[in-house]
Chain A
Amino acid sequence: AQSVTQLGSHVSVSEGALVLLRCNYSSSVPPYLFWYVQYPNQGLQLLLKYTTGATLVKGINGFEAEFKKSETSFHLTKPSAHMSDAAEYFCAVSDDTDKLIFGTGTRLQVFP
Chain B
Amino acid sequence: SAVISQKPSRDICQRGTSLTIQCQVDSQVTMMFWYRQQPGQSLTLIATANQGSEATYESGFVIDKFPISRPNLTFSTLTVSNMSPEDSSIYLCSVDQGTNEKLFFGSGTQLSVL
Which chain B residue lies CB-closest to A32?
Answer: B100
CA–CA, A96 and B99, complex, Å: 8
> Does chain A have a CB within 8 A of B24?
no
**Which residues of the partner chain A approach B110 to less than 8 Å between Cβ atoms?**
41
Please, how many residues of chain A have a CB less than 8 angstroms from a CB on the other chain? 22
> Does chain B have a CB within 8 A of A28?
no
Given A44-B92, A46-B103 in contact, is the A100-B42 Cβ separation under 8 Å?
Answer: no
CA–CA, A51 and B107, complex, Å: 25
Tell which of A17-25, A67-75, A78-86, A102-110 binds the partner. Answer: A102-110
Q: Mark A84-112, 1 if CB is under 8 A from B, else 0.
A: 00000010001010111111110000000
Q: Chain B binding site: helix, strand, loop or mixed by DSSP?
A: strand
Given A49-B102, A90-B42 in contact, is the A42-B48 Cβ separation under 8 Å?
Answer: no
- B100 near A98 with CB under 8 A, answer yes
> Does chain A have a CB within 8 A of B41?
yes
CA–CA, A49 and B96, complex, Å: 14
> Does chain B have a CB within 8 A of A43?
yes
- A44 near B105 with CB under 8 A, answer yes
User: Which residues of A are at the interface with B, using a C-beta cutoff of 8 A?
Assistant: 32, 34, 36, 41-46, 49, 51, 90, 94, 96, 98-105
Q: Can you list 15 A-B contacts (CB < 8 A)? A: A42-B107, A42-B108, A43-B6, A43-B107, A44-B92, A44-B94, A45-B105, A49-B100, A49-B101, A49-B102, A94-B100, A98-B31, A99-B33, A103-B42, A104-B42
